[in-house]
Amino acid sequence: MSAIDNRFTIHVATVNGSGSQTANTTLLRALFQMGIPVSGKNLFPSNIAGLPTWFTIRANDQGYIARIKRYDLLVALNPETSVADVTAMGPGSVLIVADGLPMPAVPSDRTLYKVPFTKLVEPLVADAKLRKLVVNMIYVGVVSWLLNIDPDEVDRALVAQLGKKPKALEMNRAAVQAGIKYAEEHMKRTPFQARRADRTTGKILIDGNQAAALGALFGGVTFLSWYPITPSSSLAEQLEGFLARYRRDPQTGKATYAVIQAEDEISAIGMVLGASWAGARAMTTTSGPGLSLMTEFTGYAYYAEIPAVIWDIQRIGPSTGLPTRTSQADILSVAFLSHGDTKHVILFPATVQDCYEYGMRAFDLAERLQTPVFVLSDLDIAMNTWMSQPFRYPENPWDRGKVLNAEDLERVKKFERYRDVDGDAIPYRTLPGTNHPLAAYFTRGSGHDEAARYTESSEAYPRVMDRLARKFETARTLVPAPFVEKVSGAEIGLIAFGSTHHAMDETRDKLRAEGMPTSYLLLRAYPFPEEIERFIRGHQRIYVVEQNRDAQMAALLRMEYPELAPRIRSVLHYDGLPIDAESILNGVRAIERPSEVTTR
Amino acid sequence: MSTPANVNRIGLTSADYKGSKSTLCPGCGHDAITGSIIQAAFELGLEQHKVAKMSGIGCSSKTPAYFLGRSHSFNAVHGRMPSVATGAYLANRELIMMGVSGDGDSASIGLGQFLHLVRRNVPIVYIIENNGVYGLTKGQFSATADVGTRAKSGQVNEMMPIDLCEMAIQLGCGFVARSFSGDPKQLRPLLKAAFSHRGTSVLDVISPCVTFNNHEGSTKSYTNAKEHDAPLHEVSFIPHFENIEIDYAPGESREVTLHDGSRIVLKKLEDDYDPTDRMRAIDTIERGRIENRFATGLLYQSKGSASLGEDLGLVDEPLASLPLDRVRPPREVLEAIMAGLMTGGGA
């Protein structure tokens, strides 16, 4: 096996709306089916059709599936970007460029193939409109031949997508064959080769939003309200699809859920609070600008203690920002979202598996703690394709928290909505409709005492606020603990969260090879569980790797552990593209070995 | 079987429908509306535990504390009560939803939410206590202030008022009424009727602010409101559980039957106003604006379209109380989805 077998990156440059998705998925799936670890990243514009878009497939036998900046094989189909696309390719790379595209001079250590895509597809498809879609399959054929991807797997991947449309399937098959034939006649196989492996057996391919939707489905969501916004819409839409299919009463065919597309995000979160207050498992999905609109209501929910699950699929801000680019820059605003003293519980999914599990667990936490629980995903996890072990069916029942029904009230004889009865700072609640004289209470965002009475008392207000702070301490013990890999003798500890996690293995392997062994902590929730403090104390230097400009997670950690602040450094990445190991390595090297970095 | 006069059909007195003591200014129109709500709820024999009282922010939105003390209540953020009410209703459609809002809450900051609530036809009795002024922040104009009305500061409003009744009619609302806090005889039957409507019922009640909008030059002062109140008819309400006939001479009255079989009897005044004529209703409101009077009574009524919830095809039981086995699909469903994601056939 050659050193670069099963270790290559395919970069496809096309025009948005040109229908390349099926083609790219076919390549991705074929490699996956051959047992090779893969990931697929779609870099798309905020546009329906016409602007440039890129799709990158990374195959890596070591399982490194984060983004990599070096591409080995380019498919250039977009005249607008072809010069830049070709220029970006390094020595040893293979370039497949549509015939007639603007081109720079190509150095001789790159392999260049100009392919007459249009001419190849013409005899296969009569309809000019269809031709534009099918032409993509020509490059599937060409690339699969160059990389030696098993043609049977290409065909299987094609059938899986188009099996229900026989006519389209035949047309696309013919295009793949035409591509293969052209490559056989005009090209020679690349040094990058796909060889059958066993690294994907039993695994699934899924995006984070779909995984989150499945989590909510099996978590028993009964209410979803949302307002369309990229990159969160596909979570709500896929959830609605699952609900329509799997959550109809078998006898009556009626829905065991309600989904409302709200008029804006204020309304979306307002409906969630109303539904949750009345006892539904309620959630919303949003991103940056929508999150800002939800600010007032989330402060209300914190203070009036109403469960809510809010998925924030982070994109680049501030303001409209770059709506289709990834980011982790909502951490500080979410942690304290609202005016007044407010602290929110946050979960940070790093994998599609996390998205699925937090899809359920966020409800349990929100209802147990009677507070909003934010799930901070990001565009990279949410909308790109990831491998995973299949998700496991939940073995535990749900946790609906401290709700008193009429019989409970009859037994306890006393009910005060905001009284800490159990010492965990979590009070009991009743639901409207409870038929008992003690059940009713007044929910308000204005000052209230333990019995939910209006008050401006300067004793009652701090009492309630201090209990809420204690409740946050209870949350600390309930949220997911970090994943920790302690390496004995390592002076450096790396902390990451969210999609950054996927670049960490590669980063750490390389650092180790350079004589810098590192421990690793995958941070999964705020408030920070105690393991995090232990981890920071256990290392001389801590690097918090995050995808924002202002080192937001590092700031939160310094706030939490002021005496440990001098140990905390940052590696930051915020250009909107998914983070890659090389960027992290450079960040760490720049601080650890500054003299070497300048000569590198 | 007869019941004592001071006890309703479920054995409660009107005092049982009270809440805590009002903290509004003495003489406030809102307190008069509270009195009418208490009386209407008592006469209907509402079961308080089934009622959810929703409100926003402002003087009007404080009032749910002053009535139906045994009902759950949600005092939301400013202008956003409609969304909370929508969510609460969908979680438990056995709840009797009641919303109390003001002109600032519903016509300014919350206009969007109000309109979308009406558009969705959320079953709720939505009361706007309309005084044309911001009371709690001391006398700024609201968006329902009439052209030419003068604030206490002397400032005159030049902008068109927002007429929430007219907007509600435009959006297909099936029960739209306007009344005056000083006319409990009209307000009470309208309130009771609103509870029998399936869908959103909007009641815009002119309710003078005795502190900030009761001076000369204000179109919503008590004196001016009383002078320009133009009742369209005399309103009587006959609940479905009572078998009463009102004896009007033929041609003297109109009768409207509501969803639950209750009836509204409208005694004709000068004109024969037909509340099922949508264009007439809009015309009446528009003319009133030009002629400086406000028509009160049942402006518009129709069976209307499906209410939210019917629309969504929900199960009969409250979503809130569905057990786990009805909302968590079985293991085989997940397994099938996972198999699809392995082979690429899709979830």
Taking Cα atoms as reference points, which of B201, B233, B216 lies closest to residue B302? B201
pLDDT tens per residue, range A363-417: 999 999 999 999 999 999 999 999 999 999 999 999 999 999 999 999 999 999 9
Q: Are B88 and A277 an interchain contact pair (Cβ–Cβ within 8 Å)?
A: yes
- What is the number of domains present in chain B? 1
Q: Are B84 and A433 an interchain contact pair (Cβ–Cβ within 8 Å)?
A: no
Q: Are A273 and B87 an interchain contact pair (Cβ–Cβ within 8 Å)?
A: yes
Using CB atoms, pick whichever of B319, B326, B331 lies closest to residue A280. B319
Q: Do the domain assignments include residue B307?
A: no
The pLDDT of residue A104: 97
Q: Do the domain assignments include residue B335?
A: no
Whether residue A278 lies within 8 A of chain B, CB to CB, comes out as: yes
Q: List chain A domain ranges.
A: 7-186, 206-388, 406-468, 483-599
Using CB atoms, pick whichever of B94, B112, B329 lies closest to residue A263. B112
pLDDT tens per residue, range B205-230: 999 999 999 999 898 999 999 999 99
Q: Do the domain assignments include residue B254?
A: yes
The pLDDT of residue A489: 94
**In Å, what is the CA distance from B94 to each residue of A290, A398, B89, B315, B317?**
31, 24, 8, 12, 8
pLDDT tens per residue, range B295-306: 999 999 998 778
Q: Do the domain assignments include residue B54?
A: yes
pLDDT tens per residue, range B67-84: 999 999 999 999 999 999
CB atoms within 10 A of CB A401: 17
DSSP B238-282: E-TT--------TTSEEEEE-TTS-EEEEEE-SS---TT-HHHHH
Best residue in A156, A242, A256 for a mutation probing chain B (most B CBs within 10 Å): A256
Q: Are A440 and B70 an interchain contact pair (Cβ–Cβ within 8 Å)?
A: yes
C-alpha span between B75 and B55 (Å, rounded): 5
Q: Do the domain assignments include residue B291?
A: yes
Q: Are A218 and B116 an interchain contact pair (Cβ–Cβ within 8 Å)?
A: no
The pLDDT of residue B1: 47
Best residue in A240, A339, A392, A443 for a mutation probing chain B (most B CBs within 10 Å): A443
Per cent of chain B over pLDDT 70 is 98
Whether residue B73 lies within 8 A of chain A, CB to CB, comes out as: yes
- Per the prediction, chain B carries an average pLDDT of 94
Which residues of chain A neighbour B347 with C-beta distances below 8 Å?
Answer: 206, 210, 214, 238, 242
Q: Do the domain assignments include residue B322?
A: no
As a whole number of Å, the CA-based R_g of chain B is: 22
Helix (H) or strand (E) holding A151: helix A151-162
Domain pair A206-388 / A483-599, same fold = yes
Q: Are B92 and A398 an interchain contact pair (Cβ–Cβ within 8 Å)?
A: no
Choice among A195-204, B32-41, B281-290, B304-313 with the minimum mean pLDDT: B304-313
The pLDDT of residue A353: 98
The pLDDT of residue A600: 45
Regions of chain A with pLDDT less than 50: 599-600
Q: Do the domain assignments include residue B6?
A: no
Residue B177's φ and ψ, nearest 5 degrees, are -135, 155
ipTM over 0.85 threshold: yes
Quick one: DSSP state of residue B111? H
C-alpha span between A194 and B271 (Å, rounded): 87
Residue B237's φ and ψ, nearest 5 degrees, are -125, 130
Q: How far is CA B15 from the centre of its chain?
A: 22
C-alpha span between B347 and B334 (Å, rounded): 9
Q: Name the minimum distance, in Å, from the CA of B223 to any CA of chain A.
A: 34
Q: Are B286 and B276 in contact (CB under 8 A)?
A: no
Q: Are A379 and A315 in contact (CB under 8 A)?
A: yes
Q: Do the domain assignments include residue B237?
A: yes
Reported CATH class of domain A483-599: alpha beta
Q: Tell me the mean pLDDT in the region B126-155.
A: 91
Whether omega before A318 lies within 30 degrees of 0, making that bond cis, reads: yes
Q: Are B341 and A204 an interchain contact pair (Cβ–Cβ within 8 Å)?
A: yes
Indicate the SS3 state at residue B130: strand
Quick one: DSSP state of residue A42? E
Whether residue B80 lies within 8 A of chain A, CB to CB, comes out as: yes
What crossing angle do the helices spanning A128-146 and A166-186 adopt, rounded to 10°? 50
At residue A392, what is the residue type? R
Q: Name the minimum distance, in Å, from the CA of A211 to any CA of chain B.
A: 10
Q: Name the minimum distance, in Å, from the CA of B346 to any CA of chain A.
A: 8
The listed CATH number (3.40.930.10, 3.40.50.720, 3.40.50.970, 3.10.310.30) that belongs to domain A206-388: 3.40.50.970
Q: Tell me the mean pLDDT in the region B144-170.
A: 94
* Surface-to-core class of residue A168, CB atoms within 10 Å of its CB (0-12 exposed, 13-18 middle, 19+ buried): middle
The pLDDT of residue B2: 53
Superfamily of segment(s) A7-186: Pyruvate-ferredoxin oxidoreductase, PFOR, domain III (3.40.920.10)
DSSP A364-407: HHHHHHTSEEEEEEEHHHHHSEEEEPPPPPP-S-----SB--HH
Whether residue A156 lies within 8 A of chain B, CB to CB, comes out as: yes
The pLDDT of residue A2: 62
Domain of B69, in residue numbers: 14-301
Q: Are B101 and B55 in contact (CB under 8 A)?
A: yes
Whether residue A271 lies within 8 A of chain B, CB to CB, comes out as: yes
